[in-house]
Amino acid sequence: MAVGVLALQGSFNEHIAVLRRLGVKGVEIRKPEQLQDVSYLIIPGGESTTMAKLAEYHNLFPALREFVKTGKPVWGTCAGLIFLADKAIGQKTGGQELVGGLDCTVHRNYFGSQIQSFEADLLVPELVSKEGGPETFRGVFIRAPAVLEVGPGVDVLAEYPVSSTNVLYSSSAVQIQEVCF
């Protein structure tokens, strides 16, 4: 079993290290043809705009979209979540290209700047009922995106409630971007 980790920018080294500790072969993915050799893919956290520019430069988007369409498991953390979303809000002017495939709308940097980062315990009842373990999971929100909407085929494992009167992020250049296949 080989797990690909998109290795353009961000925390790809940390994901490769964890895979090695688990005894799983981790493959750094930088070129489209490297996706043919993996059965799973992790798109790590990082700076999503930079990752998108590098993916575009290396012509990775068509291959990433095809990988997602095959139904092989793909996991995105932070910037990876933004990449996988079908829609993104709060993009910089001009936006960024998305891979898509996850029926959701995300808001990039919803929780604010780096200095507004925080941690919170999240209830995870679905995981507890299926896998056991503790009833909460410690969520770390570092310039984090928020999932604002999900489609009918998306299972929500945890929620962080935000008061509608508490605006955590605002931008005068908010843009919605959709991926069309």
Condensed to tens digits (0 to 9), the pLDDT of residues 33-64 reads 999 999 999 999 998 889 999 999 999 999 99
> Which tokens go with 125?
């009842």
> Please, where are the H alpha helices in 58-175?
61-69, 79-84, 125-131
Please, how many CA atoms are within 13 Å of residue 119, restricted to the half-sphere of its CB? Answer: 5
Evaluate if residue 176 carries a pLDDT over 70. Answer: no
The whole-number average pLDDT for the span 80-88 is: 94
Q: Determine the 3-state secondary structure of 110 from DSSP.
A: coil
Give the pairing type, strands 102-107 and 146-150.
antiparallel
What pLDDT was estimated at residue 144?
A: 82
**Cα distance between residue 6 and residue 11, in whole Å:** 9
**Cα distance between residue 50 and residue 62, in whole Å:** 18
Residue 180's pLDDT band (boundaries 50, 70, 90)? very low
- Those residues with Cβ within 8 angstroms of residue 56's Cβ, 6 or more apart along the chain or in another chain: 97
**Cα distance between residue 173 and residue 42, in whole Å:** 30
The single residue listed with the structure tokens 């940390």 is: 14
Beta bridge partners, 42, equal 5, 75
Tally of CB atoms within 10 A around 14? 13
- CA angle 103/119/43 to nearest 5° reads 40
177 or 147: which carries more pLDDT confidence?
147
Lowest mean pLDDT among 7-11, 95-99, 149-153: 95-99
